[in-house]
Amino acid sequence: MKVTMLYYDEDNPLLLQQQVLSGLNQSSKGRVIIPNDDKVGKIIIAILDGEVKVLNSLGDRAFAAFDLEKQIAFEGDS
């Protein structure tokens, strides 16, 4: 089975990421079994059937409009 996992990295929980996993098994209750190695360091948000491309997500426009380097330079000047 091929799925797309949506998750936040524990070290960078502001950026939604995705990973396509294939060759997975399902439990007797129909849930996809994600290998432990693919779970480490991640906050899993959703498991989607098949290969999915996220076009937009919460905060995309806000992050694009916010220039972090300028903000850091401004704070350092005070």
* pTM passes above 0.75: no
User: How far apart are the two ends of the chain, measured CA to CA in Å?
Assistant: 54
CA distance 33 to 35: 6
CA distance 61 to 77: 27
| Burial of 5 per CB tally in 10 Å (0-12, 13-18, 19+) | buried
| Residues paired with 21 in a beta bridge | 3
pLDDT at position 54 is 87
Instruction: List pLDDT tens digits, range 26-77.
Output: 999 999 999 999 999 999 999 999 999 988 887 666 666 666 555 555 555 5
CA distance 66 to 62: 6
